Amino acid sequence: MNFDHLIWIFDLLEKVQIRKYVFVLMVVMMTVSYLKVRHDRKKITQEEEDAAIEATYQKDENGLYPWEADTNDHPSRVKKNSQPLKRDWGPQRGKW
């Protein structure tokens, strides 16, 4: 195989000294991609978002979504043998 074209490309990159511009190019590319995603998300209207939720989740016979069906968190519903939810995820600050 002949890799002369790769050698030519590497020589060109060495002459251009692209290392000086890598950080700037990376920041520009990240900014452009962020702005593109932000622009695309702004185009989604509330009606489209509601339609996507309707297509994904089913309402029950009372017309409630699964996360709306059981919202009673009264202490009398807590069983005697249940354990409290322990928050042990995430950073543990102040514990050396």
Residues 6+ apart with CB under 8 A from 66: 57, 60
Range of the domain at 26: 19-45
Structural domain count of the chain: 1
Q: What is the pLDDT of residues 19-52, one digit of tens each?
A: 778 888 889 999 999 999 988 888 888 898 888 8
Task: Decide if 34 is inside a domain.
Answer: yes
Task: Decide if 27 is inside a domain.
Answer: yes
Q: Which residue has the tokens 């939810």?
A: 85
Task: Decide if 41 is inside a domain.
Answer: yes
Q: What is the mean pLDDT of residues 62-67?
A: 85
Which two three-digit tokens encode residue 11? Answer: 């020589």
Task: Decide if 83 is inside a domain.
Answer: no
The whole-model pTM stands at: 0.36
